[in-house]
Amino acid sequence: MPVTEAGKPPSRTPEEAAAHASAWVPVLPAILLTHFPDQGTLDALRPEAPPLPVMAEINRAVARAALAFGTKVLVQVADAAEFRAWLESPAESPRNPLAWRRRAPRLMGDAALATLGLDPRRVERPKPRRSLGSPAERLVQAAFAPDPPAFEALAEELLQAGRQGVLDQAVRRAADRYEDDSVEHLEDLLYLTAEAKAVPPTGRAVLVALPMVLPEDRPAPEAAFIAESFLASGAAGEFAELRLLPAWRTPGPLLDLAPVAMRRALEDMLAGREPSALPPATEAELAEEGIGLLLGLNLSWDIPEWAEIDRSPAPDPTAPADLAALDPQTAAHAAVEDAAEDAFDSWAEEIADRFRDCVPLHLVGASQLEAELEDYFGEATLADIPETLVELGDFVLMAEQEAGGVPIVGHIAGRDGVRLSLALYTKEGRFLDSRDFDLAALPPEALDQLGELVELVETPPGR
C-alpha cells in the first residue's frame, strides 16, 4: 500500500518494527513475512529497505511479536525474476510493488520460523487459558466475551468433531440467559464459523451460494452456462478463487442445514465430492420453488503482508473495533470490491436480457442466503410462520441429522391443554431427543403438519 499522508515510514530497526507489530497483531489472525535470500533480491523488491542483516532481524522481531500474541506467521521467499515479471505484466493500473504475492510455496509453522532463522523451541507463545465448565458452557462464555479467537477455536473443535448436540445445548443455555438478539448473535457466529475453514498453508475456503429467481413458464437456464458466465464476468473479485458446481439446487436444503451439516458440506466440496446433504434439484422442484442456486466454494489466499502493515498507522485501541477499517489493505480491497460490484451489475443485466424473467441475486456465504432472499422477497412469509411451529420443524430436522440418514419416528409422550411432549427415535429404537412445546402457541393444523414432518407411532419402537 503506498505511503500516504496518513501513513508512516517503514521501520528501520527491529525494536521499532516489534513495537508496531505488537500494536497490530491483536486484530490480525495471520501475517505474511517476505524473506529475502540475498541482498540483490532485497534491492530488487525493497530498494529503500535497510541492509539485509537488519531486514532479517526486523522479520524475526515481527515474527516474535506475532507469535507471542497467538497470530499465525507465514513466510514467502522472494524471487527477483518472478517479481520483475509480475511488475512488468499488463495491468489496468500501475503495479504496487508491495502488493506482490508469491502464491506458492508459502511456509508456515516450524518451516517458516526456520527460514527466518528462529528456533521454534525458543519462541515465546501465549499460554493456553484454563477453561472451566462443559464445552457448551465454555462456548457461551466465549461468544459473549471480548475474545473472538477463543470462540473460534472452540467452535472449530466442536464442528470438526461433529458435536451438533453441544452446539444446540449452547444455544439453549444462551436462550435461558440472554435476550433474543444475543441468541441470534450466537447462532450467527456458529453458522459463520461453519461455512468457512482454513486451508493450509495460507487460505480460507467459504461455502457460498449464487441464487437466481427463475422464470415461471420456462425451464431454468443451463446451470453450466450461468456458472461459466459469472466466473468470466469478474464479479467474484480478484482476491479469491471461486468454484461453482454446474447444477441447480433449491434453497430449502441449504437453509435447513445445522452448523455441523453445513461444515460437512463444505468439507465434501473441498475434497472434490458432491455434498451429499445438498443434492441437485429436478426440473419439477425448480419449477415449484421458482428460485434456484448454484453452490460454490470461494478460496481466498490474501492475507496482509508486513511491508503494508508497517506503512499503516497503528490501530487506535480506544476506538470501537472495526476490523474492516483496521485492515491495512482496506483501500485495495475496497477498490476490488467496487470493481466486482460493477461487474456483477453488468453480468446480471446481461442475464436478465438473455433469459426473460430471470433475476440473479448476489453471491453470498451460505449463512447469508436467507438474508439475501429476504432482501429480495421481503420477510412477510417468514414472519407469518408461528415461532413454535418453526421450532417444532427445527427439532425434527436436528434429530434426522443426528440419526445419520436412518429413518426416524415420533412419539407424543404427553399432551394436555398447555404442553405437547414429543420424543424422537430411530425406527430401530435408539432414543434421539425429546422436548416440550407450548401447545397454545401452535396453530390448529400443527398436529396434522407434524405427521408430515415425521412418522408418528403409538408406542416408542422396541417397547
Judged against a pLDDT cut of 80, whether residue 336 lies above it is answered with: no
Model confidence at 89, pLDDT cuts 50, 70, 90, reads confident
- Identify the pLDDT of residue 448: 66
Q: Is residue 463 part of a domain?
A: no
Q: Does 190 lie in the same domain as 209?
A: no
Q: Is residue 1 part of a domain?
A: no
pLDDT per residue as tens digits for the range 29-60: 789 999 999 999 999 999 999 999 999 999 99
Judged against a pLDDT cut of 50, whether residue 5 lies above it is answered with: no
Q: Does 436 lie in the same domain as 341?
A: no
Pair 418, 438: CB distance under 8 Å = yes
Q: Does 206 lie in the same domain as 145?
A: no
Q: Which of 146-155, 211-220, 347-356, 439-448 has the lowest mean pLDDT?
A: 439-448
- Identify the pLDDT of residue 380: 36
Q: Does 421 lie in the same domain as 342?
A: no
Secondary structure class of 210 (helix, strand, coil): strand
Q: What is the per-residue DSSP string for 225-272? A: HHHHHHHHHTTT-SSEEEEEEEEEE-HHHHHT--HHHHHHHHHHHHTT
Q: Is residue 7 part of a domain?
A: no
Average pLDDT for residues 408-423, to the nearest whole number?
84
Q: Does 215 lie in the same domain as 118?
A: no
Q: Is residue 64 part of a domain?
A: yes
The helix (run of H) or strand (run of E) holding residue 414 is strand 408-415
Average pLDDT for residues 103-131, to the nearest whole number?
80
Give the domain extent around 299.
198-377
Q: Does 113 lie in the same domain as 24?
A: yes
Average pLDDT for residues 446-457, to the nearest whole number?
76
More confident residue, 404 or 50: 50
pLDDT per residue as tens digits for the range 177-234: 888 888 898 999 999 999 998 776 557 889 999 999 998 888 999 999 999 999 888 8
- Identify the pLDDT of residue 263: 96
Q: Does 213 lie in the same domain as 183?
A: no
Q: Is residue 8 part of a domain?
A: no
- Identify the pLDDT of residue 19: 95
Q: Is residue 462 part of a domain?
A: no
Q: What is the per-residue DSSP string for 162-181? A: T-HHHHHHHHHHHHHHS-HH
Q: Does 162 lie in the same domain as 216?
A: no
pLDDT over 90 percentage in the chain: 44
In the structure grid, which three cell numbers stand for residue 58, read together?
526486523
Q: Considering its fold, how many domains does the chain have in total?
A: 4
Secondary structure class of 108 (helix, strand, coil): strand
- Identify the pLDDT of residue 202: 54
Q: Is residue 93 part of a domain?
A: yes
Which position has the grid cell 521454534? Answer: 120
Q: Does 335 lie in the same domain as 258?
A: yes
- Identify the pLDDT of residue 388: 55
Residue where one domain finishes, among candidates 162, 194, 226: 194
Residue where one domain finishes, among candidates 194, 210, 241: 194
Average pLDDT for residues 434-447, to the nearest whole number?
75
Pair 46, 54: CB distance under 8 Å = no
CA–CA separation, 381 vs 92, rounded Å?
46
Q: Does 369 lie in the same domain as 408?
A: no
**What does R_g of the chain's alpha carbons equal in angstroms?**
26
Mean pLDDT of the chain: 84
Pair 294, 228: CB distance under 8 Å = no
In 301-375, beta strands by DSSP E = 359-360, 364-365
Q: What are phi and psi of 277, to 5 degrees?
A: -80, -5
Model confidence at 331, pLDDT cuts 50, 70, 90, reads low
Q: Does 438 lie in the same domain as 336?
A: no
pLDDT per residue as tens digits for the range 378-400: 643 434 445 556 677 778 878 88
Residue where one domain finishes, among candidates 122, 144, 176: 122
Q: Does 316 lie in the same domain as 184?
A: no
More confident residue, 334 or 283: 283
Q: Is residue 127 part of a domain?
A: no
